[in-house]
Amino acid sequence: MPVILVADIDRGGVFAAIYGTLALLQPQERARVKGVIINKFRGDVALLRSGIEQIEALTGVPVLGVMPWLDVDLEDEDGVALQAGKYHRTDRRDIDIAVVHLPHIANFTDFNALAAQPDVRVRYVRDPQALADADLVILPGSKNTLGDLCWLRESGMAHAVEQARQRKVPLLGICGGYQMLGETIIDEVESGLGAQPGLGC
């Protein structure tokens, strides 16, 4: 089966990455590589001409094309961008929204539309004290609702959510987070824990 190698120029060192990748392949693997595409290029493609000619001469593999950088708002896989810090905004905004960063958070990109608003700051928080100044607290979806509910209690976040409710801070639950705000959660299928008390908010 033929293979096309796609190299990300936005990270830097694209020609070294192409050469190094091909050099590390076993001969039978390298024989399958029929071409290279350079991805995420910003600027004049003519600037790459000499580099493309050199990498083709060194590897014997043709560069099939150069793809431009496109600023497309694509959703990230659950949790990956959060761990990388992409969504941890610290600039001051008029409306401060705290999303509780559950250990098994699901569909965190539900909040991209909020974060895109010019006067809104969206924070993903694990420290209970981080709810103190929030204008809105959100419990997001979860891939393990009862497990994350236990974490809320053990971490002190459940108490912080209750304190926010007493201060009349709006609470919003989505999917599993909405279930956690209820009086009781009954789950006899996924967790086997049966009925567990919710936050009662």
12: alpha, beta or left? (left if phi > 0; alpha if psi -120 to 50)? left
DSSP designation for 184: E
Report how far residue 36's alpha carbon sits from residue 34's, in angstroms, rounded to the nearest whole number.
7
Contact status, residue 179 vs residue 172, Cβ threshold 8 Å: no
Render 26-52 in DSSP notation, one character per residue: -HHHHTTEEEEEEEEE-S-GGGGHHHH
Residues annotated as catalytic (active site), given as ranges: 175
